[in-house]
Structure 1
Amino acid sequence: MEIEKLKILLEQVKGGEIAVDDALQSLRILPFEDLGFSKIDHHRQLRTGFPEVIFCQGKTVEQVKQISERILAAGHPLLATRATPEMYKAVKEVQPAARYNELGRTITVSRSEEDAGVSGILIVSAGTSDLPVAEEAAETALMMGNQPERLYDVGVAGLHRLISNHEKLLNARVIIVVAGMEGALPSVVGGLVDCPVIAVPTSIGYGASFGGLAALLGMLNSCASGVTVVNIDNGFGAGYSAALINRLSA
């Protein structure tokens, strides 16, 4: 059905019955591909600038494999988050070029290796325990055409580690700050820079951190201007937002 609509649109454009802009507008709302257990939105890239991303948590290995196969067959790049090694092996059967970030738990297949990506995004982590979330953010930004810079293990317990990298902070166009425990680091960074700071609370911490809730509330109550907050452990959301900001800034 979708192919038939595309053919009709193409003929209408060729015959001058419809303008190119109107055809593009129609393409934005064309239907999805229904696999029964999943409805793949192949036109998300046309609407938002980036194709659908697979959130693997809760899905079976076979489901991830089938969704990946259809996304790749449509000519889209692939980003799958919260993926297991078993899921990666299954996707690699479909596309040998698939890459797995074991720390960030992401599976990626790029369209091209030619573009080195745009600089401007700096990803800062408070501690080594926060790296899985930080790496998810990094892989997301990378897949969206950026070349993120990493600055890890510079939390408030040793503030001199952060201050010694002051120049990197000042050169960034957008900064992602990933922190657990009490979540203080984004406030510190926000008070040092003149660019947007995206705070990511992680579920790292002892009992009273309540699985990241303490860090989330601390970041939401930040006294530093320019700090915005995504959900607990949401590295993907932070990386996506940072990529959009960097696109506008660049």
Structure 2
Amino acid sequence: MTEAQLKDLLQAYKAGQVDLDTVMGHLKTLKEEDLGFAKVDHHRALRNGFPEVIFGQGKTKEHVAAIASRLAAAGSTVLVTRTTREVYQEVAARLPAAEFNELARTIVVAAGEIRPTGGRVAVLSAGTADLPVAEEAAVTAAVMGNEVERIYDVGVAGIHRLLGRVDLVRRADVVIVVAGMEGALASVVAGLVDRPVIAVPTSIGYGASFGGLAALLTMLNSCAAGIGVVNIDNGFGAAALATAITRLKKV
């Protein structure tokens, strides 16, 4: 049951349109649903503003499809991250509305209209090699209800490409910066805008980048103010944090 459905149910009860037994029957579904291999959290949207997200990496296609089916049956939007086309085909066999973004490695099954946050998120990537992580962030931010602006391949090796788009970046409420190699782009962006900047280091780079550790340390040690840093390659986490910020516009 979604938050909107729960509110409708409670209003129907107050109006005398449903009895208490019906209400209690629905409220029981707010507990996790035990599938044996997973406990599906059907009431996460009520606590955190968005339904449980399925991290696909390491799960079998059957397990992902089963969890997705149960979330969809409860009326929740389904988001699967770090997944493959093979898993998508299994999910789509049960949920034909499923959409696969191969670059982002995501599956989305929308449950009705996505409630907008009223916020705008700009997702910047330093290079084309960073696009899988940037797209994961963009897809996640969009499905969580944000307006998303993609600004790709604007790394410091050709800084003019960024400078020509600064006005576009400044129109965002939150800026997500995805960069590998030495990860300098986040510092540059944070020095140009008065918005929260969420930095995402990627594992892209030569040997001394240590699988993204160099970019991570650069971002953590940035002298530019207003930067928050998430884990290496964690585009999803960056978008979730950005959404927590954009939702504040409604407070």
Map 1:207-222 → 2, pairs under 5 A: 207-222=207-222
* d(CA) in 1 for partners of 2:28, 2:183: 40
Match of 1:96 in 2: 96
SS in 2 for 1:232: coil
Offset at residue 112 of structure 1 (A) = 2.7
Offset at residue 70 of structure 1 (A) = 0.6
Count residues with an aligned counterpart: 235
More moved, 170-179 vs 109-118: 109-118
| Alpha-carbon displacement from aligned partner over 1:10-50 (angstroms, at most 9, x marks no partner) | 8xx7699xxxxxx99xx699521111111111010111110
* d(CA) in 1 for partners of 2:227, 2:14: 49
Is 1:58 equivalent to 2:82 in the alignment? no
| Alpha-carbon displacement from aligned partner over 1:137-164 (angstroms, at most 9, x marks no partner) | 0111111111200000000001000000
Match of 2:179 in 1: 179
SS in 2 for 1:198: strand
* d(CA) in 2 for partners of 1:15, 1:160: 61
Letter in 2 for 1:151: I
Map 1:101-250 → 2, pairs under 5 A: 101-113=101-113, 118-249=118-249
| Alpha-carbon displacement from aligned partner over 1:33-76 (angstroms, at most 9, x marks no partner) | 11111111101011111000000000001111111111111110
What TM-score do the two structures reach when normalised by structure 2? 0.87
Offset at residue 95 of structure 1 (A) = 1.1
* d(CA) in 1 for partners of 2:116, 2:51: 20
Q: Does structure 2 conserve the Cα–Cα contact (< 8 Å) formed by 1:28 and 1:47?
A: no
Question: Percent identical across equivalent pairs?
Answer: 63
What TM-score do the two structures reach when normalised by structure 1? 0.87
* d(CA) in 2 for partners of 1:198, 1:136: 14
Unaligned runs of 5+ in 1: 1-5, 17-22
